[in-house]
Structure 1
Amino acid sequence: MDIATLIGLVGGFGLIVTTVLMGGNAGGFVDPPSLVVVVGGTLAATFVMFPLKTVIGTAKVAMKTILFKSQDPQDMIRLITSLADTARKESLVALEKVNIDDAYLKKGVMLVVDGSSESLVRSVMEIELDFMKQRHRAGQGVFKGMGTMAPAFGMIGTLIGLVNMLQNLSDPSSIGPAMAVALLTTFYGAVLANVVFLPLATKLEQRSEEDALFMQIMIEGVASLQKGDHPTVVKEKLQAFLSPALREES
């Protein structure tokens, strides 16, 4: 679980609520019609921008920012190095009996064991990598779209409120409260965009990059297995994917 996402969301809303309460008029920040305009309008625009299946699947995608099991790239490198050692001491066929939990790596190894050419193995694995990135970009796009639309509908709600206010200028005492309500939609839109939607899109983009790095390590690792590289060479080659700080931890 990625506790940082929860800390950010709870902390962001907590700071806003605390500031509102310190102002002494929390009730003035609650306006259901304004919330309906921002949330409803944002969702409506999102359904226009993206296919229904993509939008509905957004909830599952969002959970990836929280229920994310962090992986250590060194563990993957050690596993591939171990496979290289097994293949060198015995044979590539011996890898068929090795228990490999990662489905992506197992697919690549099985292709090698079956005698597939290096170009075919790399092509199959890279195609899956490309489609993984494409799927992830769809989820990121939904949140980026919502982050763009929320402030826009906040402004629309504000304009609606201003129009209603200007139509009732005969009562000066109502101008202040009406202006406050009109500005609430902008407030709601800004909060949702900058505390929820855009940060989640950025976190998903980071998760996608991490997944892609692991898959690239596995692609090169499988290619090294197929070439019969020495385990030490395999390890050094895969370490090149990591930052110097991570390499020092190995």
Structure 2
Amino acid sequence: MQSVLDLFDPLAFALVWLGAIAVVGAQEGRRGLVSSLVACKTLLLANPARDAQVAQRAVRRVETVIDLKGLQCIDRIKAQTGFVGHAVGYLANDPDAERFSAWAKANLEDREMRHNSVIRFWMTMADVAPAIGMVGTIIGLVRLFTDLESSDNMGSAMALALLTTLYGLVLSNVVAAPISQRFLRLSAEELKWQRALTDKLVAVISRYEKSP
């Protein structure tokens, strides 16, 4: 345990992590920075397979309610996921297949853009982190060569040079890259079931509109 703790240097850690966040934040803007960090809470909570099953049950309930009571009663259906609730609520207020299809397309495009923004943030973080680590390495080497006569300063300078490289590689390959790939997969799975849901609802409403 002590050997692992010896690898932690607050200055090197702050230089790499805060430096990488600052660089990527400058590229993506404050809004992109905040949304990308906040989105990390979904990494453990998101379950697209479960949400897809909920969506399928919601569609079946919509079909049943329409067949029994008419389209105006679908607002009574309690959806367990936000997107399903918005879709059903929109249909309850405006039961028109064409307008619902346009709303769904715009909504899903907006979701995809937000997903891509988060994915791009973490992919850029994975690319930037090793470079920030190298900056720390150069700073450490400069400190080393400017004060070769002091053994104490030599040790701290060498530690900074090596640890910043290590932290950059860890941030890139152990943190940022896996997070970006996780978000990429979650986005694809989520958008897949959401598109399937909206296509099914459009088909249901179109069939209802054509019925005598």
Alignment of 1:48-59 (within 5 A): 48-59=26-37
Q: 3-state SS of the aligned residue for 1:99? A: coil
Q: Is the 8 A contact 2:87 2:198 kept in 1?
A: yes
* Residues matched between the structures, number: 207
Q: Deviation of residue 95 (structure 1)?
A: 2.4
- Matching residue's letter, 1:226: I
Q: Is the 8 A contact 1:150 1:189 kept in 2?
A: yes
Q: Could you say if the C-alpha distance between residues 105 and 36 of structure 1 is closer, same or farther in structure 2, counting changes exceeding 3 Å? A: closer
Q: Deviation of residue 219 (structure 1)?
A: 0.5
- The equivalent residue for 1:153 is 132
- Matching residue's letter, 2:175: V
Mapped to 2, the partners of 1:114 and 1:180 lie a distance apart of 64
Q: 3-state SS of the aligned residue for 2:43? A: coil
Residue identity (%): 22
Mapped to 2, the partners of 1:108 and 1:101 lie a distance apart of 12
Mapped to 2, the partners of 1:124 and 1:132 lie a distance apart of 12
Q: Is the 8 A contact 1:87 1:228 kept in 2?
A: no
5+ residue gaps, structure 1 = 1-20, 230-250
**1:112-166, Cα deviation, whole Å (9 max, x unpaired):** 4556542221110111111011112222222222222221110111122223333
- The equivalent residue for 1:132 is 111
Q: Is the 8 A contact 2:13 2:167 kept in 1?
A: yes
- The equivalent residue for 1:32 is 10
Mapped to 2, the partners of 1:152 and 1:198 lie a distance apart of 15
Mapped to 2, the partners of 1:139 and 1:104 lie a distance apart of 19
Q: Deviation of residue 173 (structure 1)?
A: 10
- The equivalent residue for 1:211 is 190
Q: Deviation of residue 28 (structure 1)?
A: 4.6
Mapped to 1, the partners of 2:13 and 2:201 lie a distance apart of 52
Q: Is the 8 A contact 2:51 2:81 kept in 1?
A: no
Q: Is the 8 A contact 1:88 1:228 kept in 2?
A: no
Q: Does 1:66 align with 2:29?
A: no
Specify which of 156, 180, 199 is matched with residue 220 of structure 1.
199
Q: Is the 8 A contact 2:25 2:32 kept in 1?
A: no
Q: Deviation of residue 97 (structure 1)?
A: 3.6
Mapped to 2, the partners of 1:180 and 1:98 lie a distance apart of 61
RMSD of aligned residue pairs (Cα, Å): 3.0
Alignment of 1:59-138 (within 5 A): 59-68=37-46, 71-113=50-92, 116-138=95-117
5+ residue gaps, structure 2 = none
Q: Is the 8 A contact 2:95 2:205 kept in 1?
A: no
Q: Deviation of residue 106 (structure 1)?
A: 4.1
- Matching residue's letter, 1:47: G
Q: Is the 8 A contact 1:143 1:200 kept in 2?
A: yes
- Matching residue's letter, 2:36: T
Mapped to 1, the partners of 2:195 and 2:57 lie a distance apart of 15
Q: Is the 8 A contact 1:93 1:113 kept in 2?
A: yes
Mapped to 2, the partners of 1:99 and 1:36 lie a distance apart of 47
Q: Return the TM-score normalized by structure 2.
A: 0.80
Q: Deviation of residue 35 (structure 1)?
A: 1.9
- The equivalent residue for 1:238 is none
Q: Is the 8 A contact 2:54 2:81 kept in 1?
A: no
Q: Could you say if the C-alpha distance between residues 186 and 225 of structure 1 is closer, same or farther in structure 2, counting changes exceeding 3 Å? A: same
Q: Deviation of residue 171 (structure 1)?
A: 7.5
- The equivalent residue for 1:193 is 172
Q: Does 1:43 align with 2:21?
A: yes
